[in-house]
Amino acid sequence: MTDDDLDKTSESQSDLSGMGFILLFLGGLIGALAILGYQIFQWLKTGSWHPLPLSFVLDWLGTDLTPIYAPRDWHGVAKIAQYIVEMPLAFVVFLLGCGGSCYFYSRLGLLFED
């Protein structure tokens, strides 16, 4: 391989990592806006705000949240877990998109380092 071929490969890998970063970020942003849009639509329709916490999705997936809401021990950890599962779903989706895009970008950059 010539130096020109290596430069082209490096550029395409950089473009790929940049595109992955953008796609994950936009996915999180669009997902968060869609959830928020649904909540606003429901509010306009019914006149009352229907919160969508992370626990809504965890319940839908069949996750047993009993240890979080009725702990036998480690009550401080249970309070932290309660705080996390009661976070707004739109915020969690946005954070996952941002975090995932940053992780993807950094890992892909490490893979293609010279």
Angle at the Cα of 58 (from 56 to 63), degrees rounded to 5?
A: 135
113 has pLDDT over 80: no
- Is there a domain that residue 26 lies in? yes
Query: pLDDT tens digits, residue range 32-68?
Result: 999 999 999 999 999 999 999 999 999 999 999 999 9
Residues 106, 81, single domain; the answer is no
113 compared with 95, residue with greater pLDDT: 95
Per-residue confidence (pLDDT) for residue 20, from 0 to 100: 72
Instruction: Determine the structural domain holding residue 40 and report its residue range.
Output: 7-48+90-114
23 compared with 13, residue with greater pLDDT: 23
CB proximity list for 20: less than 8 A, separation 6 or greater = 101, 104, 105, 108
Here the contacts of 70-74 (C-beta below 8 Å, separation 24 or greater) are none
- Is there a domain that residue 108 lies in? yes
* Residue 108 to residue 111: CA distance in whole angstroms: 5
Residues 21, 73, single domain; the answer is no
Residues 82, 26, single domain; the answer is no
**pTM as predicted:** 0.74
What total of structural domains would you count in the chain?
A: 2
